[in-house]
Amino acid sequence: MTVTMLRSVVEAALRRAPTSSSSSSNQLLRRRCYSSDSNPERKVAVLGAAGGIGQPLSLLMKLNQLVSSLSLYDIAGTPGVAADVSHINTRSQVKGYVGEDQLGQALEGADVVIIPAGVPRKPGMTRDDLFNINASIVKSLCTAIAKFCPNALVTMISNPVNSTVPIAAEVFKKAGTYDEKKLFGVTTLDVVRAKTFYAGKENVPVAECVSQLQNSACVCTSEVNVPVVGGHAGITILPLFSQATPTSNLSEEDIAALTKRTQDGGTEVVEAKAGKGSATLSMAYAGAIFADACLKGLNGVPDIIECSFVQSSITELPFFASKVRLGKNGVEEVLGLGTLSDYEKQGLGNLIPELKSSIEKGIKFANQ
């Protein structure tokens, strides 16, 4: 076929094709990009949606095609955030709710509730300084969750996670709705940091981009992997660099430095922001990754494994962060710690008393 003949065939085809944006090729494209046909309806509620974490997290959840309904709740500012996010042309319908009398509506029918409500750390403040304010916020939000969406998966971002998760558990127990498979402390940011810092030290690509932006909040499939166990504050954060992939021959000094940087990641951001908040953008990313994993698990996608702070029997403590397999009912399996290096065994021994007292503090607060 000559070039002229080829051109006339193409021109004839173009003349036959509809000129509107609903052409069949566009429809096919849309079907490929938006897999909503095969994804069930899922409602996700973000509590604290107008905050530093809440806003970018709401944006990322709006980009997630597994979400059909996005409910944005805060004590102030949500109508604006919801109006803004709702203009994005992705699958979910967005609604904003403001103030306690709208909390029930915000929660009703939710499959996943993400809680970044609370106050962030300021320079010089420890996570424990936040305790009294955030503990009360979490207690009241969980009381409403028990009433309006007792079957939802609850992913807790509000700090101190080591105490807010036990508080939530106690509130749910009192309400008779506690299901240990459905309560998660979000420790994904520790994993995200450990992966980034490890890849930087090893000089390997941290992630392989697969441009999945249309399909889910995850835009990258990670190549580097580092489990992080224990809890979510200071020395209770224990990255297991001995189990990192790709494997490496890092010196003991390098591993100690990487461990410390992962543990102090939050402080690094708090100090760099100099009084203007804590980690919000990286936390929103991490929260969105974890919520996406929960939704995939609920939808029956196999082999969804993330680290999370959950009810656990792999140590003497009632809650512990480790790798968790997610499924249709939330936690399907809490995976063990694997083989630890001597350095990690020592870290585990050191973190147990501190984590134990944070857990007890949460339980005591919830029951007073």
Residues in the site for ligand NAD, rule: CB under 6 A? 47-48, 50-54, 74-76, 116-121, 130, 134, 137, 141, 157-159, 161, 186, 189, 232, 277-280, 283
CB of residue 195 vs ligand NAD: minimum separation in angstroms? Answer: 14
Least Cα distance to 93 among 64, 68, 110 occurs for: 68
Computed from CA positions of residues 287, 288, 289, 295, in that sequence, does the dihedral angle turn out positive or negative?
Answer: positive
Q: What is the DSSP string of 74-130?
A: ESSSHHHHHHHHHTS-SS-EEEEEESGGGHHHHHTT-SEEEE--S----TT--GGGG
Q: Which helix H or strand E contains 153, and what residues bound it?
A: strand 153-156
**299 vs 29: CA distance, rounded Å:** 23
Least Cα distance to 166 among 133, 138, 202, 125 occurs for: 138
CB of residue 265 vs ligand NAD: minimum separation in angstroms? Answer: 9
Closest residue to ligand NAD, Cβ-based?
Answer: 51
Secondary structure E strands in 181-318? 183-185, 207-209, 220-222, 228-230, 237-239, 304-311
Q: Which is nearer to ligand NAD, 65 or 135 (CB)?
A: 135
* Active site positions, annotated: 232
Q: Which is nearer to ligand NAD, 202 or 239 (CB)?
A: 239
CB of residue 167 vs ligand NAD: minimum separation in angstroms? Answer: 13
Q: Which is nearer to ligand NAD, 279 or 289 (CB)?
A: 279
Q: Which is nearer to ligand NAD, 232 or 361 (CB)?
A: 232
Six-digit token string for 227? 């489990």
Residue pair 53/204 in contact by the 8 Å Cβ criterion: no
Q: What is the DSSP string of 196-224?
A: HHHHHHHT--SEEE---TTT-S--EEES-
Q: Which is nearer to ligand NAD, 56 or 330 (CB)?
A: 56
Q: Which is nearer to ligand NAD, 65 or 72 (CB)?
A: 72
Six-digit token string for 276? 């203007």
CB of residue 116 vs ligand NAD: minimum separation in angstroms? Answer: 5
Query: Strand, helix or coil at 341?
Result: coil
CB of residue 271 vs ligand NAD: minimum separation in angstroms? Answer: 14
Q: Taking the CA of residue 157 as centre, how many other CA atoms within 13 Å lie in the half-sphere pointing to its CB?
A: 33
CB of residue 210 vs ligand NAD: minimum separation in angstroms? Answer: 25
